[in-house]
Amino acid sequence: MPVNRDQVLHEAMRLLDDEGLDALTLRALAARLGVQAPTLYWHVKNKAALLDALADAIMDEAIAAIPAPAQDGDGREWLLAALSQLRAAMLRHRDGARIVSGARYSMRRADFSELAMATLVDRGTDLHHARLLVLAGERYTVGFVLEEQSPAPDAPDVDIAALQARFPVATRAITEYFTAGHTADDLYRDIARLVLNLPDETR
């Protein structure tokens, strides 16, 4: 039974979500679709093109969820909202950040950057600063999710008291932050506000 490009990409995303990026091969994808691997080349010329298409699909999700910018303000709060949607879109897919970070030719990722920069510039940010803000925000967000989606290592056999003695300031900072009821989502937003030079809402 013939397949079209949309079916190929849909099944590729399902394979990614089910088994992860390392299991995503053209041979495995062809087997799930019930076709021979060469059939896929009519729709994606190689694995790199497939990964770029998946990155575009993840970026489509992010862009579709971005709220309209407010009429007032300089756009940085809006940029934080846009970056939060990027994080959410990557988290919805297993290894989503690895897909997006490796997509060198994703036009939708470029569309995200263009929209973000244009919104800042339209609200008075000079082009140079707008580019740096967007670049910093995007790279921070992708890096944060890469760490979130990394497999948890086996718990080391460590002496907690010794760690607390060696890193007293870090231990106190982490303990105070999370015992106050903060979550990983709060941590993402609080650091993003620092990256974007927005007021610290935890104080």
- Per residue in 141-163, pLDDT tens? 999 999 999 988 777 788 888 88
Both 69 and 29 in a single domain? no
Both 72 and 115 in a single domain? yes
- The CATH number of whichever domain residue 129 belongs to comes to 1.10.357.10
The tally of CA atoms less than 13 A away on the side-chain side of residue 142 is 17
d(CA 194, CA 135): 14
Q: What is the pLDDT of residue 12?
A: 96
Q: Tokens for 44, please give them.
A: 């994606």
Q: What is the pLDDT of residue 77?
A: 96
d(CA 100, CA 89): 10
Which residue matches tokens 């935890």?
202
Whether residue 36 lies inside any domain: the answer is: yes
Whether residue 158 lies inside any domain: the answer is: yes
* C-beta separation of 145 from 90 below 8 A: yes
What domain count does the chain have? 2
Element (H, E) at 91: helix 76-91
- Decide which of 45, 63, 78 is a domain's last residue: 45
This prediction has a pTM of 0.92
Q: What is the pLDDT of residue 1?
A: 58
Both 39 and 86 in a single domain? no
Q: What is the pLDDT of residue 41?
A: 84
| Average pLDDT score over residue span 180-184 | 93
Q: Using CB atoms within 10 A of its CB, is residue 34 exposed (0-12), middle (13-18) or buried (19+)?
A: exposed
| Average pLDDT score over residue span 32-53 | 89
Closest CA to 78 of 88, 64, 68, 87: 68
Both 161 and 149 in a single domain? yes
d(CA 153, CA 145): 16
Domain holding 9, by residue range, is 1-45
Both 32 and 52 in a single domain? no
Q: Tokens for 95, please give them.
A: 């290894």
* C-beta separation of 30 from 40 below 8 A: yes
Q: Give the pLDDT band of residue 36 (cuts 50, 70, 90).
A: confident
Both 157 and 68 in a single domain? yes
- The CATH number of whichever domain residue 33 belongs to comes to 1.10.10.60
φ/ψ (deg, to 5) at 25: -120, 160
Which residue matches tokens 């003695």?
165
* C-beta separation of 134 from 79 below 8 A: yes
Both 6 and 52 in a single domain? no
Q: What is the pLDDT of residue 201?
A: 77
Both 30 and 116 in a single domain? no
29 pLDDT above the threshold of 80: yes
| Average pLDDT score over residue span 65-91 | 96
| Average pLDDT score over residue span 64-78 | 94
203 pLDDT above the threshold of 80: no
Q: What is the pLDDT of residue 147?
A: 96
Whether residue 177 lies inside any domain: the answer is: yes
Both 162 and 173 in a single domain? yes
| Average pLDDT score over residue span 56-62 | 98
109 pLDDT above the threshold of 80: yes
Rounded percentage of the chain residues whose pLDDT exceeds 90: 80
